[in-house]
Structures are given as C-alpha cells and as structure tokens.
Amino acid sequence: METAAGVEACLPIRSDMDLVWVRQHVRQAAAQLGFGLVDQTKLVTAASELARNTLVHGGGGRMEAAHVVRGRVNGLRLAFADDGPGIPDLDRALTDGYTSGDGLGMGLGGARRLVHEFAIDSAPGAGTTVTVTSWAVRPPHPREVV
C-alpha cells in the first residue's frame, strides 16, 4: 500500500531563478529521503527539464513535491503543473528530437527515462501536469546481509 507522508511543498515556476530553487529543493528533499547521489542527480535532472517545460511551453506554473511511502520505501513525487496551451499530441511530444520550439526535443523523453514513474495529464487549452515519482531503493548495507 502507498501512503502520503507529508513534506509537501509548492514552488512557483515563473523565472529562471525559480528553476534554481526547484533544483535545490529536489536535491535536498531526495537526499533527506535517503536517495543516493546518483539517484538524486537523476531526479534533479528530470525535474530541471520538466520545470523548464512548465516555464517555456506552459507559460509558468508550479511544482508540488510530496513524500510518499510504499511499504518501507520512501519516494519523492513531483507534479509540474501549468495552465498553458496543453500538449495536443503526447506521443509526438515524447519522441526524442521533437520540439515545437527551438529546443533539442530531448527534455520530456529524457525525463521519463530518469524516473521510476511518469504520467502526463494534458489537453489542448486545458494546461499540462506532468507527475513523476522515484523511489529511494538502496542496496542493503553489508552489515545487514546475512
């Protein structure tokens, strides 16, 4: 069973400076929940790309972060939401190399590969919410192996 365990936060995504706060918050929250350095970096990189999409394509929005628990495993769930134009074709948007602007078109697909769970809720004219979750799955400490 999965439960929400609090540590909820809502950060605005309105400027390049806000992207810095988002990265910092995700790094800190992931570290606190026991994510290793590599897993922290994966989640921060995904969050950075998704927050940039919220800003650039969605016209600004917010990130909501929540600590979730499944069994004994801690997870960090991040939702990037905007009230922008929405994504008309999700498959195309997720295709590596597709961009409607002048980006590389690698952000969305790249972010999906960096997290454990990935979902997009979007419709033309109705905004976009991308929700990702990663779990702090740690190998057992050598002392705990029998």
Ligand X SMILES: Nc1ncnc2c1ncn2[C@@H]1O[C@H](COP(=O)(O)OP(=O)(O)OP(=O)(O)O)[C@@H](O)[C@H]1O
Question: Cβ of 138: how many Cβ atoms within 10 Å?
Answer: 12
Question: Of 75 and 107, which has the nearer Cβ to Mg ion?
Answer: 107
Query: How many residues does the structure list for the chain?
Result: 146
Binding-site partner at residue 98 among ligand X, Mg ion, none, CB < 5 to 8 Å by type: ligand X
Instruction: Give me the residues that bind ligand X (CB under 6 A), please.
Output: 49, 53-54, 57-58, 82, 84-85, 87, 93, 98-101, 103-109, 128
**Site for Mg ion contains 61 (CB under 5 A):** no
What is the three-class DSSP state of 20?
helix
**Smallest separation (angstroms) from Mg ion to the CB of 44:** 15
Q: Are strands 73-82 and 128-135 parallel, antiparallel or unpaired?
A: antiparallel
**Site for Mg ion contains 40 (CB under 5 A):** no
Question: Of 61 and 107, which has the nearer Cβ to Mg ion?
Answer: 107
Cα angle 115, 45, 52 (rounded to 5 degrees) comes to 110
Residue from 61, 75, 84, 107 that binds Mg ion (CB under 5 A)?
107
Residue 46 to residue 107: CA distance in whole angstroms:
8
**Site for Mg ion contains 53 (CB under 5 A):** yes
